[in-house]
Amino acid sequence: MIRKFMEGVIDKFRKSESEVVNMQSDFDNQSSQNYKGRLFVVEGCDGSGKSTQLHLLRRYLEGKGYPVYFTTWNSSELVKNATKIAKKKNLLTPTTFCLIHASDFADRYEKQILPHLKAGYIVLADRYIYTAWARDAARGVEIDWVKNIYSFAIKPTAAFYFRAPLEISIDRILSGRPQLKFHEAGMDLKLSNNIEESFKIFQGLIKDQYDSMIENEGLIVIDATLKIEEQQRLFRKYIDEFLKDYTVPEYLSIIGKENTSQL
Amino acid sequence: MIRKFMEGVIDKFRKSESEVVNMQSDFDNQSSQNYKGRLFVVEGCDGSGKSTQLHLLRRYLEGKGYPVYFTTWNSSELVKNATKIAKKKNLLTPTTFCLIHASDFADRYEKQILPHLKAGYIVLADRYIYTAWARDAARGVEIDWVKNIYSFAIKPTAAFYFRAPLEISIDRILSGRPQLKFHEAGMDLKLSNNIEESFKIFQGLIKDQYDSMIENEGLIVIDATLKIEEQQRLFRKYIDEFLKDYTVPEYLSIIGKENTSQL
C-alpha cells in the first residue's frame, strides 16, 4: 500500500514534468538546490571503487531514515536495446555514439532523476553527465558540443571523483574481469590492436578528462587508494555537511521509516 | 562490376571518415561547397509536394548523366527500431525525442551523406536538419540547443522550402492518409484530444518555424500551389545555376553513363 501511494506521488511529479515543454536549462545557472531533494553523484575510472562507496553510502542514508533513490548509468530500458545492437555492430562514429548515450540519459533523467528530486528524494547517481563528458571527449568529440547537449541536466548538489593512479584502477579491472568489451576498451578509436593495451590507453584519456574537471566543474576528490572504511568516512562527512539544510518532506517520511525497519 | 567498383570508392571515403575523430564543425562556417559534391535539400510541411519535386529533379539530373545519391529523413536502419519502439510506447519527452532523432540523423549523415559528398556525388535529401529544427522547436525545445546538436552537419549547397498555405497541405494529407500517427499529429503535445485537430495545430506550429527560417537560414521558397510542371521548371532553373561550377569526378563519370542508358 505504501509502495502504491509512493508510486502515485512520483507519478504526479513525472506527469507535471512531461507537461513542461521547454526542458532545456542553463546547467551553470541551475543546481539541484532548487528542488526539495538532493543529488549526489560519484565519478571515476572503471575500477576506482566508486560503486562500492555509493552502495555503502546508500545503506548509511537509508539507515538514517532518508528517502533514497538510486540510479546507475545506462539503466534506461528504452534506448538500452538500441545501444546494445549498435555497439555490437561496431558501426557508430563518436558523434552518433555520443547522441545515443545522451538519448538514453535524457530519458532516465526526465523520467527518474528529476521527478525524484522534485519529490524530495536524495538521489544517488552512480555516474552522471561527467561520465559522458569524459568518455566523449576521450573519443575526440568536441567537449563544448557535448556539454551543450547535456545542458538540460542540472548541476548536482555535489559530484565526487574517486581518484586512483591509473595502474591501480586498471589492475583492479583486468584482474577481475578479463573479458573487456569492445567500446569499453575504446577499440573503436584504433589506439591499439591489443584490447588490453587499448583499454589502458583509453582509461588514461578518460582520467585526463576527469582530472581537468576537478577545477573546472568543482568535483570533490576522494583518494581511492585509501582503505574502503576511510574513504567512506570522508564521503559521509561531506554528505552530512551537504544534508544540513535538507528536510524530508512529510509525505516521504513514511518511506524512511519503512526502509529502517528493513535494515 | 561497376557497382562493386563504386562500393569500393564510397567505402574508401567512409573509412577515412570514421577515422576522423573530431567530427564537429561550425555549421555556419562550413558548407557543402568545401566538398567535390553538392547537397540539395527540400523542406516543407507534410503534403507540400516536395518529395514529388525531388523525385522529378532526380530523374532530370540522372538523365543528364550526373551521379546522384538520394536520401530521405529517418532512413537509418540503426536507430530506426529504437525510434519505432519509443514512439509506440509514447513515453518520450521532447528532449529525448529530439536526441533519438539526432542520433538517427548523425548515423545517416556520417555513413551516407558525407562520404557521398566527399566522393563528388550530387546528394538529394528529402528533408534535412531544418526538419528537425522545425519539429523540435514546434515541440517547445529550445531552438539554439537543437541547432547546436545538429552543428556537425554542413550547410547544404541550397535548401528549398516548398511553401503552401496550411489548408492546402493539410487537405492533401487528410484526404490521402486518414490514419495519422500519434507523434506525426503532435498528440504528445496535448494540443487537442482530436487527432486531426491536433495535426492541424501542430502543422501550423511547424509552418511558423519554417517561415522564420526563410530569412534566418536562407531557404529558397518555391510556391507549392503552382502546377507541378511549373514548380519543377523553377526548381531545375535554380539547380542548374548551382551546378554551374560542378564537374563530375572522373572516377564517377562511368555512373552517369550507366544511369543514362537505363532511362
Tens-digit pLDDT profile for residues B127-155: 999 999 999 999 999 999 999 999 999 99
Chain A residues whose beta carbon lies within 8 Å of the beta carbon of residue B103: 82, 96, 99-100, 102-103
Tens-digit pLDDT profile for residues B214-257: 999 999 999 999 999 999 999 999 999 999 999 999 888 866 55
Who contacts B95 (Cβ-Cβ below 8 Å, separation ≥6)?
A23, A24, A106, A110, A152, B141
Interface of B with A in 180-209 (CB under 8 A): 189-190
pLDDT at A15 over 60: no
DSSP codes joined into one string, A39-83: EEEEE--TTSSHHHHHHHHHHHHHHTT--EEEEETT--HHHHHHH
Chain B's closest residue to A17, CA to CA, is B93
Amino acid found at A259 = N
CA–CA separation, B139 and B198 (whole Å): 12
Interface of B with A in 97-116 (CB under 8 A): 99-100, 102-103, 106-107, 110-111
CA–CA separation, B240 and A5 (whole Å): 67
| Interchain CB distance below 8 Å, A78 and B91 | yes
Cα B124 to Cα A220, B57, B83, B117, distances in angstroms: 50, 9, 24, 10
CA–CA separation, B26 and A152 (whole Å): 21
B103 closest CB neighbour out of A19, A96, A141: A96
B21 closest CB neighbour out of A78, A103, A139: A139
Mean local confidence (pLDDT), A188-208: 93
Take residue A240 and report the three cell numbers written for it: 552530512
> pLDDT band at A54, cuts 50/70/90?
very high
Length of chain A: 263
Tens-digit pLDDT profile for residues A202-254: 999 999 999 999 999 999 999 999 999 999 999 999 999 999 999 999 888 86
Q: What is the torsional sign of CA B220, B224, B230, B231?
A: positive
Global pTM reads 0.81
Q: What is the torsional sign of CA A53, A54, A57, A59?
A: negative
Q: Quick one: CA torsion of B135, B28, B235, B241, rounded to 10 degrees?
A: 180
B148 closest CB neighbour out of A96, A148, A189: A148
Mean local confidence (pLDDT), A28-37: 71
Coil, strand or helix: which one is B84?
Answer: helix
Tens-digit pLDDT profile for residues B94-123: 998 899 889 889 988 998 999 999 999 999
pLDDT at position A172: 87
pLDDT at position A113: 94
Please state, for a pLDDT cut of 70, what percent of chain A lies above it.
76
Nearest CA of chain A to the CA of B17: how many Å?
A: 9
A24: contact with B, CB 8 A cutoff: yes
Percent helix, strand, coil in chain B, to 5, is 60, 10, 30
DSSP letter assigned to residue B53: H
pLDDT at A44 over 50: yes
pLDDT at position B86: 63
B103 closest CB neighbour out of A103, A110, A139: A103
Q: CB contacts < 8 Å between A and B, how many?
A: 118
CA–CA separation, B106 and A100 (whole Å): 10
Nearest CA of chain B to the CA of A22: how many Å?
A: 5
> pLDDT band at A28, cuts 50/70/90?
low
Q: What is the torsional sign of CA A51, A52, A55, A61?
A: negative
List domains and CATH numbers for chain A. 2-244 (3.40.50.300)
CA–CA separation, A124 and B92 (whole Å): 23
Q: Which of B23-27, B119-123, B194-198 has the lowest mean pLDDT?
A: B23-27
Mean local confidence (pLDDT), B10-34: 52
Chain B residues whose beta carbon lies within 8 Å of the beta carbon of residue A142: 22, 24
Neighbours of B133 (CB within 10 A): 25
A95: contact with B, CB 8 A cutoff: yes
Neighbours of A182 (CB within 10 A): 13
CA–CA separation, A82 and A74 (whole Å): 12
| Interchain CB distance below 8 Å, B79 and A82 | yes
pLDDT at A16 over 60: no
| Contact of A104 with A73, CB cutoff 8 Å | no
Length of chain B: 263
Mean local confidence (pLDDT), B62-66: 94
A91 closest CB neighbour out of B78, B142, B152: B78
Mean local confidence (pLDDT), A148-163: 97
CA–CA separation, A187 and A10 (whole Å): 40
Structure-model confidence comparison of residues A198 and B21, the more confident one: A198
| Interchain CB distance below 8 Å, A21 and B85 | no
For the complex shown, is ipTM > 0.90? no
Nearest CA of chain A to the CA of B103: how many Å?
A: 5
Tens-digit pLDDT profile for residues A60-96: 999 999 999 999 987 566 566 666 666 666 667 899 8
> pLDDT band at B6, cuts 50/70/90?
low
B79: contact with A, CB 8 A cutoff: yes
pLDDT at position B8: 61
Nearest CA of chain B to the CA of A243: how many Å?
A: 30
Mean local confidence (pLDDT), A30-50: 87
Q: What are phi and psi of B50, to 5 degrees?
A: -65, -35
pLDDT at position A58: 97
Burial class of residue B233, CB neighbours in 10 A (0-12, 13-18, 19+): exposed
A22: contact with B, CB 8 A cutoff: yes
CA–CA separation, A160 and A53 (whole Å): 10
| Contact of A203 with A169, CB cutoff 8 Å | yes
CA–CA separation, A113 and A105 (whole Å): 10
pLDDT at A127 over 50: yes
Who contacts B75 (Cβ-Cβ below 8 Å, separation ≥6)?
B108
